[in-house]
Amino acid sequence: MSEITNKKFLQIHADDNVLVALQDLKQGEVIVWNNDVITLRDDVNAKHKFFINEMQVGDEVLMYGVLVGKATAYIPKGGRMTTENINHASQDYAYREVDYKWQAPDVSAFEGRTFNGYHRADGKVGTANYWLFIPTVFCENRNMDVIKEALHNNLGYTVTDKYKQFTRQLLQAYQDGEAIESFHADQLGLANPVANRVFKNVDGIKFLNHQGGCGGTRQDSQVLSNLLVSYADHPNVAGITLLSLGCQHLQTGDFLNDLRKRNPNFKKKVLVFEQQLSQSEEQLIEDAIVQTFIGLTEINKLERKPAPLRELCVGVKCGGSDGFSGISANPAVGYTSDLLVALGAKVLLAEFPELCGAEQNIIDRCENQPIAEKFIRLMRDYDAQAHLVGSGFHMNPSPGNIKDGLITDAIKSTGAAKKAGTSPVVDVLDYTEPATKPGLSLVCTPGNDVEATTGKAASGATLILFTTGLGTPTGNPICPVIKISTNTALAARMGDIIDIDTGAVIRGEKTIEEMGTEILEYCIKAASGEVIPKAVLLNQDDFIPWKRGVSL
């Protein structure tokens, strides 16, 4: 599917027995499809589906050319798909010998292109230059908050000044006896995020507040250590301040050992502060601020330099998905993914609960049997864990997903998998494992937006392409997140968080290939610091460690 020519409805795959409404359709409207006449039996809102033939109980529902559900009631021809008339279903999957042939896209327009990144001593290249604060235990969160307020407010990294100004104006109106029920402040704008910075080459000071490090199980602390270590080792991070209480499960020594195991060539500055060895909390905070300030003066000397596009590592993610996600934004990002792979870069696809129904296609694309079998094992283990607690992948779609046309998990997942394009799968990574091979890798994470983006950054993503049909403010502390809308109405309504609009694909004004090429151009600018994604401007620094429990 490279373009949409009919602006009222779409058949995604030739085998599908449903059509997708691209605009609101009314009951009784006559649809002519493949020389057949279909009279709509229900109102069908844009993004929802209707059947091209009558369905009996147990009949298979096909979308994207695969099984996505089964009828639970008789459905007339032209009837709308709902949660009342179909249930989730997906085909079984297994490794099989397939000679998968990939037709790489033409990348001649991008050959020789570079981005301006930060070159690290170990050979990696970052798209940003951050100083990172890491607590080994939740007990240090308050100290982290105190330090954050002090540094952000005085070094030009806060984005809350306009809300402070709004509150001051609101207070003044209240004190002057004015009605405040419909109070509107004077014009409030987001200040230029670079102009106010003391350190022009430091893109931010980031803080990984979390609820772990002690209590729970020792295994939880080990997983957390691996996660925090991966962030310390990330190419977008130039220096680290580590805060520890002292008596917690995750000891400072264990963290530093894990860091050396992950990267024997690690050479970044790590400042360590143990509260139980400090004379006072005040001394701890003052020392941390002074030493970090000195560190900031050092990393501010670093400058962006050209790097080939193969040095990019791009995560692809969707959240707040709708019935257009698998038609516009996800396939467009999928084409971007194919361009990146053809250029020798890395692409990371995660969200294992949102690959349900797309497994066989992914397995058939794996470069060898061990890679395929690792994916199968991780998927089946994850699904089995969900069933043990009375859940399952079939319970993945949220109320918002369903309201906007994603009726079953298989529908949601097969559309979500389009973000990965069509290239071979070169590796399968468990949670926090680093991506080392050029090409497309799968990363085991939950579908939860923040847990998934947290996991992608842990595996080395230096940019994340995040598609959304409903809108979500999700970001990441150290990996710039580029928000891509599936439809123009969302981009207009939530323009403060959306970077790219793919609604032109739905209107038939642009092809998937044209849109995917535009997205790559934006990636190059974002990786070079020429444009700043909205999630970065707003300091949407979401970070949630996954404790390996069931999370869909």
Q: Give the CATH number, domain containing residue 16.
A: 2.30.130.110
Joined tokens for residue 201: 């080459």
Average pLDDT, the chain: 93
Q: Which residue has the tokens 């301040």?
A: 241
pLDDT 10s digits, 465-476: 999 999 999 999
Whole-number pLDDT of residue 190: 52
Distances (CA, A) of 395 to 24, 85, 451: 27, 16, 18
Concatenate the DSSP letters of all residues of 457-495 into one string: HHTT-SEEEEEESS------SSS-EEEEESSHHHHHHTT
pLDDT 10s digits, 378-413: 989 888 887 887 776 666 677 888 888 889 888 988
Quote the domain boundaries for residue 70.
9-88
pLDDT beyond 70 at 26: yes
Mean pLDDT of 423-448: 96
Q: Are residues 390 and 496 in the same domain?
A: yes
Q: Are residues 301 and 432 in the same domain?
A: no
pLDDT band at 2 (very low <50, low <70, confident <90, very high): very low
Q: Are residues 359 and 459 in the same domain?
A: yes
The percentage of residues in the chain with a pLDDT greater than 90, rounded to a whole number, is: 80
Q: Are residues 65 and 153 in the same domain?
A: no
User: For residues 323 and 432, what is the distance between their CA atoms, to the nearest angstrom?
Assistant: 31
Q: Are residues 316 and 299 in the same domain?
A: no
Q: Are residues 283 and 319 in the same domain?
A: no
pLDDT 10s digits, 36-77: 999 999 999 999 999 999 999 999 999 999 999 999 999 999
pLDDT 10s digits, 490-534: 999 999 999 999 999 999 999 999 999 999 999 999 999 999 999
Give all strands of the β-sheet with 269-274 in edge-to-edge order.
Answer: 204-207, 130-135, 237-244, 269-274
Whole-number pLDDT of residue 184: 73
pLDDT band at 119 (very low <50, low <70, confident <90, very high): very high
pLDDT 10s digits, 210-227: 999 998 888 889 999 999
pLDDT beyond 80 at 239: yes
Q: Are residues 385 and 456 in the same domain?
A: yes
Q: Are residues 487 and 368 in the same domain?
A: yes
Mean pLDDT of 352-370: 91
Q: Residue 191: inside a domain, yes or no? A: no
Q: Give the CATH number, domain containing residue 143.
A: 3.40.50
Q: End of a domain among 46, 70, 88?
A: 88
Q: End of a domain among 284, 305, 326?
A: 305
Q: Residue 112: inside a domain, yes or no? A: no
Joined tokens for residue 511: 């092809």
Q: Are residues 499 and 407 in the same domain?
A: yes
Looking at the structure of the chain, the number of domains it has is 3
Mean pLDDT of 151-170: 85
CB atoms within 10 A of CB 322: 29
Q: End of a domain among 248, 277, 305?
A: 305
Joined tokens for residue 145: 């908050």
Whole-number pLDDT of residue 395: 64
Whole-number pLDDT of residue 517: 98
